[in-house]
Each structure stands twice: as C-alpha cells, then as structure tokens.
C-alpha cells in the first residue's frame, strides 16, 4: 500500500512541473462554454506542485474571433472565449470602453519593426510585442528599444510549439524558459503570454496561469502575415478601421509591409472615431 501511495504522489508531482499558421477573421469561433465540472479558478503564482492539473482537458482548440458581431461591433467569438476561459486569467477582448490595444507577433524580423517603433513613438502609442526566444536572441537591440520606449514585451514561447500538444511540464518549460532568458538578458519581467497559432487547451491555459501569466489572444486579426501576398494599403486600412470596437485587441504581424505603411493613418483614424490606445 505504501508503495502504491508513493507512485501516485510521484505521478502527481510530474504533472505539476511547470513555435506558422495564424487564424484570421473568418476562423471558427471558440467552442461553447465549457462544462460546469471544471475546477475552481487557479490562484496566480501558485507554487509548482500545488495545483492538480490531472482533471483538466488536453483537447486542442484553435482560436479565431469569427465573423459574428454583437450590436457594439464586438466579435462574439472573443466574448465567448472570455466567458469560457476567463477563469484561467485568459482574455481575447477587454471591457475597456473607448480603448484599443495594439499587439504584434514577432516570429522573425523582416526589417519593419524599427519603422513601426518610430511610428508608435511619434504617435505616442504603446503596444505589446509577443516575441519568440529566437527573435529575442537575434534582435537584442529591438527588444531593448521596445522596453526603453515603454512597450510591453510579451512571451510567445521558446519554440513556437502548439501548447496543447505538450505535457504540463513541457508547457511550463516553453513559458519559463523564455521568461528566464528575457529577465537575465534585459532585466525585464514578462507577464503576458500568447500561445503560438492561438492553439490552447484547458490544461495549457491553467499551466500558463500557474506560471503567473495572463493569456492574451485577440478580437481582431486579418491575413497580414504572408509577405508574398500582402493586401493593398486601401484594403488593409479599410479592414482595420471597420473592425474598431470597445476593448479591441488587434493582432498584427510586424513582417507585413502593408501594416507598416498604414499604421500612422490607422492610428489617426482610430482617434478620429473617439477611441484611444491602451
């Protein structure tokens, strides 16, 4: 009996040891609200080993805000995600009226980030840049500039793996590995995580929260990442401005030449609509 108990305890401890496609506006919405049998919300910053992840689902979900909108132009897919997964300190939209949030995914450097940073500085706008470890290692001067100019540097994982394909321990390593690198190299503590490809499971969200992080998805994205098939500036500007809504979290890719060119006009247009950037 004592041997069985020791084996059970060892298995529980192992569970608690704590990366290019992207979704666009016509992606499927998140699944319906999850079962009432879910565990109670996990306390952020819990010590490794204090949370039992064994009851959480490992089913993979691919996030997309969908095309359905409410009466306030907010994607219902983002609202559904908040409702279903907010207990894991995860969000796809905020409740901030009159506020827009700009976020950039930094998979690799295509020569445009400096100009984007120039625009943000000129327009007095702060943004969040979700970086991979390879990106940070190759572009330390850009990471330093993001930090020095008051932007948020977010965690996009070490290796860009699909988080729900990993064990709890592997999820933790993907998050904490990059966290340690950025802290050691730049003296900066990251607090926001965007799962690669927008893929998640209940388990991966719970591990992310247990690492002391907030999961941040998005309420608007469009097909901007294909450098060989960029939309026209007029098309991109129209999509971006028509999608404005309270609490919006925009996902943009800094590899996009179109994003770089339309960003100043987009910022001006958002402000003309009476919004400000958070």
As annotated, the active-site residues are 105, 253
Task: Report CA 149 to chain centroid distance, whole Å.
Answer: 21
Task: Report CA 153 to chain centroid distance, whole Å.
Answer: 11
Indicate the Cα dihedral angle 96, 76, 268, 191, nearest 10°: 50
3-state secondary structure of 11: helix
d(CA 89, CA 157): 17
Phi, psi torsion values for 77, nearest 5 degrees: -65, -40
Which long-range contacts link 46-54 to residues 24+ away (Cβ below 8 Å)? 46/210, 48/16, 48/17, 48/18, 48/172, 48/210, 49/13, 49/16, 49/17, 50/16, 51/16, 51/206, 51/210, 52/12, 52/15, 52/16, 53/15, 53/16, 53/168, 53/203, 53/206, 53/207, 54/12, 54/15
Helices 140-148 and 113-123: angle between axes, nearest 10 degrees = 10
């Amino acid at each position: 009996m004592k041997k069985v108990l020791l084996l059970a305890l060892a298995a529980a401890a192992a569970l608690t040891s704590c990366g290019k496609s992207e979704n666009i506006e016509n992606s499927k919405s998140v699944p319906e609200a999850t079962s009432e049998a879910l565990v109670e919300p996990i306390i952020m910053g819990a010590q490794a080993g204090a949370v039992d992840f064994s009851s959480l689902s490992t089913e993979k979900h691919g996030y997309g805000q969908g095309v359905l909108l409410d009466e306030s132009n907010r994607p219902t897919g983002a609202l559904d995600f908040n409702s279903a997964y907010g207990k894991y300190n995860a969000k796809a939209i905020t409740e901030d009226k009159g506020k827009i949030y700009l976020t950039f995914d930094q998979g690799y450097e295509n020569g445009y980030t400096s100009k984007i940073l120039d625009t943000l500085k000129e327009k007095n706008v702060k943004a969040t840049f979700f970086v991979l470890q390879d990106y940070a290692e190759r572009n330390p001067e850009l990471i330093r500039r993001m930090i020095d100019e008051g932007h948020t540097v977010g965690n996009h994982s070490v290796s860009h793996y699909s988080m729900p394909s990993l064990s709890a321990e592997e999820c933790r390593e993907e998050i904490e590995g990059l966290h340690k690198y950025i802290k050691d190299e730049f003296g900066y503590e990251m607090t926001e995580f965007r799962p690669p490809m927008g893929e998640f499971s209940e388990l991966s969200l719970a591990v992310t929260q247990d690492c002391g992080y907030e999961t941040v998805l998005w309420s608007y994205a469009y097909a901007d990442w294909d450098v060989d098939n960029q939309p026209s500036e007029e098309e991109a500007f129209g999509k971006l401005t028509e999608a404005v809504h309270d609490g919006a979290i925009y996902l943009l890719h800094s590899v996009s030449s179109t994003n770089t060119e339309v960003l100043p006009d987009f910022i001006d247009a958002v402000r003309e609509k009476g919004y400000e950037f958070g």
